[in-house]
Structure 1
């Protein structure tokens, strides 16, 4: 049965219990990919199902040309879609109804008008780690990026998310209205701080007074978000049809979900604490735990599995060497570098990470975990190395993880199979990785990625040892060596 409003009463799966016609938009969201639709939108749907938050429905805002296709698909379904939460033993499908509109890309005036509407209390973002225009060398927002500079020259017709946010905030200020809160839901450390810098510095390009007003008056809460959400393929569309629903944009995800958020919403917010969101004064400890143990753990799993031609993440977790590598490096090097987290047992958290990665229902791919290492390694792995070097502790396993990433970027697996480009900087990474086969230091000389870590003699030594072993003996033998099995 086709998914749409008319068919909701007859669908064979769970559907919204609230009247969607009575919803009003309170959140403008940029980046309606699978993660947002399985995370923020699910929390809002749960809240609406208990009779709360009906004035905080989502209005999507398209920015990229690729958003047009997603908007077309969702509009044909009355902005409904299915989320299938999967444990190892069950699949739980439900229709999500928290979105009521999706503004098409190419019409900045419509987005600005919605942002300027006093009913809009929050502008939220899931635009990926690479969407914040961060200068790789400085680690800060780059106002000289051509797209941002263009918005600075044309502030009335911006083309970027940050130009649109500035235009919306300027309209609110001119009308004497309270600004909306800007809430980043991206998987980056201190995402609110990063979003603040991007919005303020974009405004500064054409109106320094507006920039200062935004810095002083607009809230940018930090948040830690978590849910494994693979991309949708024909496989998932076929699976939802087997459940009796024709949905052209379903989302399949794990049954685990977490959101820890700083409670800084002057314009108001939905009562998400009623459906499991944890509001805290400072999200930093939770953020560091997740980035190092979970995201760092993903990298530990990804590259040896990729080099050994393992396709799915749960298959990697079934491999004794990969699982042993993950256990040893987490227990000896990563978890000891994570400060205490309120009301949290780090060992229990890590046990849950392993359980989640081993879930065979998710169909999460090793290739997805290997994606975009040039953006992820400096956030998820290298800070842990830096901390351990500073305290004189071992980095042997982390050096091996870096060597595995380098070997992966050389572009072939141990069997000789070609690895398709899997990073925005793939060509440069591949050239450097191949040069590092004979001169390992070439890899660590990428200062925008490794910084001081790459210049540390102890790290250089262990990296070179492991990279040489990977090329000489392969991934399996190298992991056996690290684990003391040979």
Structure 2
């Protein structure tokens, strides 16, 4: 180590035995499941170390490997920062480098749970229908080469097939991504994939493999070089794997596991029979307004959520969306006060310690919009209400994916359908034409919803206003704020 530079973080305690494999070891996993599991093992013990698997990039392995899986989680509260070292991760595999090693790890009888945070697009499904997308390049590859998978469904099926062939019990598949009925969705995708390879395997998975649904919640902004430098200055060691997160966390889980689980309840997790109401609350109230702030805030030139809601018009946007359009579609989960939940959300958004970028939240909108916005729109229309605020959010997304901001500068749109969306937007010169073309993207919009003249008119009107006067003025006009 050069003089003057801090030492690299090293593990302080012995590694626990591996009892879980996790697909997708990004910042959210480190700030959430890894911490819950560390707390559960500290309180109750158990062999629940987590072997992390990156399905794409070697970055997590390169960051965590030299530190033997240890990393720092930094809580960013309104009053300051609090750092802790987390040591529940036992190692990291990079799937493209050795798919066989990943399958072998998942097939190990000591592994009881395979969990996932792979974002919406990692499920290789059609967001509008929830079904496996058999034309997805990774699915096409994996169906042709099931022993050398690239996708999460491919790895899950390959490992379950090996366990079945060996007469071993299955592992539990625990999805922790922001998808409605995420356990049921993951089960359907995995069984669809398995059925295409071996119908008997698909039947075994359907009969024996639990896919409990979950609701997860903790705001986790992307770690920056400035964050890493600040941690090194404060703690005296270098940790490129560190993560930043807000103080709040909530994990609601259906208690359905094949072969045991960590005592996550001692760390505050809630175990319930049915997570659907909590899931709907979070997807619509938090994720829905997060996306609203992301698109309308970005178009207005705001870089972070805290900066966006500091504008009274955007704080009013949240209040009006919740009160008038979202909460009427949300069943009250057991033990929750929906009005208090939304008030707490706005406080979380205002946390000055969290730099959650609007551009980051705006990523992969084609995968997020059906769950976060369009389900609420569908329910409102079915009840005879036209949700003009959510139509404004859809129009803002359409402006965003067109790839040009309000100053005429290009937008770096990160989305699996970015090319198709920009082509659809560019296929017409008028707001009416652009809206019609984008509503025709069936991977995002269910044709029956897209055909609703009330939705088409509402989105078109909002698009015209955005194009004519800009996002900030349109939000102020809709909310009646100054």
> Taking structure 1 as the reference length, what is the TM-score of the superposition?
0.92
Given candidates 7, 10, 14, the residue that maps to 1:2 is: 7
Q: Is the 8 A contact 2:431 2:460 kept in 1?
A: no
Pair 1:361–1:137, CA change in 2 (3 A): closer
Given candidates 200, 218, 221, the residue that maps to 2:212 is: 221
Offset from partner CA, 1:270-316 (integer Å, 9 cap, x none): 11111101000000000000000000011221122111111111000
Given candidates 79, 100, 110, the residue that maps to 1:89 is: 79
Residue matched to 2:19: 26
Residue matched to 1:454: 450
Which piece of structure 1 moves more, 396-405 or 211-220?
396-405
Alignment of structure 1 residues 253-292 onto 2, 5 Å: 253-292=245-284
Q: Is the 8 A contact 2:113 2:171 kept in 1?
A: yes
**CA positional deviation for 1:35:** 0.6
Which piece of structure 1 moves more, 213-222 or 188-197?
188-197
Pair 1:209–1:330, CA change in 2 (3 A): same
Offset from partner CA, 1:311-339 (integer Å, 9 cap, x none): 11100010111111121121111111111
> Does 1:437 find its partner at 2:431?
yes
Secondary structure in structure 1 of the residue aligned to 2:444? helix
Residue matched to 2:31: 38
Q: Distance in 2 between matches of 1:466 and 1:230?
A: 30
> Does 1:299 find its partner at 2:291?
yes
**CA positional deviation for 1:160:** 2.7
Q: Is the 8 A contact 2:21 2:52 kept in 1?
A: yes
Residue matched to 1:12: none
Q: Is the 8 A contact 1:224 1:283 kept in 2?
A: yes
Given candidates 247, 250, 254, the residue that maps to 2:239 is: 247
Given candidates 416, 429, 436, the residue that maps to 2:408 is: 416
Q: Is the 8 A contact 2:60 2:92 kept in 1?
A: no
Secondary structure in structure 2 of the residue aligned to 1:94? strand
Q: Distance in 2 between matches of 1:266 and 1:121?
A: 7
Pair 1:162–1:441, CA change in 2 (3 A): closer
Offset from partner CA, 1:416-475 (integer Å, 9 cap, x none): 333222322223323433525253433333333232222212222222222112212222
Residue matched to 1:110: 101
Secondary structure in structure 1 of the residue aligned to 2:244? strand
Secondary structure in structure 2 of the residue aligned to 1:229? coil
Q: Is the 8 A contact 1:153 1:206 kept in 2?
A: no
Offset from partner CA, 1:127-165 (integer Å, 9 cap, x none): 110011113564301244342233233333333322222
CA RMSD, Structure 1 to Structure 2 (Å)? 1.9
Q: Distance in 2 between matches of 1:104 and 1:475?
A: 42
Residue matched to 2:124: 133
**CA positional deviation for 1:54:** 3.3
**CA positional deviation for 1:395:** 1.2
Q: Is the 8 A contact 1:189 1:379 kept in 2?
A: yes
Q: Distance in 1 between matches of 2:318 and 2:444?
A: 23
**CA positional deviation for 1:365:** 0.6
Which piece of structure 1 moves more, 425-434 or 460-469?
425-434
Alignment of structure 1 residues 62-81 onto 2, 5 Å: 62-64=54-56, 66=57, 68-81=58-71
Pair 1:278–1:418, CA change in 2 (3 A): same
Q: Is the 8 A contact 1:301 1:323 kept in 2?
A: no
Q: Is the 8 A contact 1:3 1:80 kept in 2?
A: no
Offset from partner CA, 1:200-224 (integer Å, 9 cap, x none): 2222232211111111011111111
> Does 1:474 find its partner at 2:470?
yes
Given candidates 178, 185, 188, the residue that maps to 2:179 is: 188
Given candidates 300, 304, 318, the residue that maps to 1:308 is: 300
**CA positional deviation for 1:107:** 1.6
Count the aligned residue pairs.
471
Q: Distance in 2 between matches of 1:227 and 1:263?
A: 21
Offset from partner CA, 1:207-264 (integer Å, 9 cap, x none): 2111111110111111111111111221111111121221011101111111100000
> Taking structure 2 as the reference length, what is the TM-score of the superposition?
0.93
Q: Distance in 1 between matches of 2:310 and 2:440?
A: 35
Q: Which runs of 5+ in 1 are unaligned?
A: 9-18
Residue matched to 1:15: none
Pair 1:219–1:310, CA change in 2 (3 A): same
Runs of 4+ in 1 over 4 A off after TM superposition: none
Residue matched to 2:3: none
Offset from partner CA, 1:63-117 (integer Å, 9 cap, x none): 32x1x23212211111111110111112110011001122233222222222222
Q: Distance in 2 between matches of 1:63 and 1:293?
A: 30
